[in-house]
Structure 1
Amino acid sequence: MPEDNMKTEMIRLLPKLRSFALRLCRNPDQADDLVQTTCERAIRSLDQFDPATRLDSWMFRILQNHYFNSVRDSANRARLFDLAMLDFEESYDGAKAAASSLELQKVRDFIGRLDEDNREVLLKIAVEGQSYKDVAAELGVPIGTVTSRLARARLKLREWLETDDTAPEVPIQSMPGGVL
Structure 2
Amino acid sequence: MPEDTLKTEMIRLLPKLRSFALRLCRNPDQADDLVQMTCERAIRSLDQFDPATRLDSWMFRILQNLYFNSVRDTANRARLFDLAMLDFEESYDGAKAAADSLELQKVQDFIGELEEDNREVLLKIAVEGRSYKDVADELGVPIGTVTSRLARARLKLREWLDTNDAPQGVRLRSMPGGM
- TM-score (normalised: structure 1): 0.51
Per-residue deviation, residues 18-52 of structure 1 (Å, max 9, x unmatched): 00000000000000000001001000000000011
Report Cα offsets for 1:69-93 as digits up to 9, x if no partner.
0110111011001101011112237
The question of 1:92 aligning with 2:74 is answered no
- Root-mean-square deviation over aligned CA pairs: 1.6
Gaps of 5+ in 2: 97-179
Query: Equivalent residue for 1:44?
Result: 44
The match for 1:63 is 63
Q: 1:5-84 residue pairs with structure 2 within 5 A?
A: 5-84=5-84
Structure 1 residue matching 2:10: 3-state secondary structure: helix
Number of matched residues?
96
Identity %: 95
Q: Secondary structure at the match of 2:71?
A: helix
SS of 1:12's equivalent in the other structure is helix
- Give the partner amino acid of 2:33: D
**What is the rounded CA distance, in whole Å, between the counterparts of 2:5 and 2:92 in structure 1?**
61
- TM-score, normalising length: structure 2: 0.51
Partner Cα distance (1:23, 1:85) in 2:
33
Q: Which aligned segments of 4 or more residues in structure 1 are displaced greater than 6 angstroms?
A: none
Question: Could you tell me how far apart the structure 2 residues matched to 1:18 and 1:49 are?
Answer: 21
State which structure, 1 or 2, has the greater radius of gyration over its C-alpha atoms: 1
Distance 2:5 2:93 in 1: 63
| SS of corresponding position for 2:74 | helix
* Structure 1: 5+ residue stretches without partners: 99-180
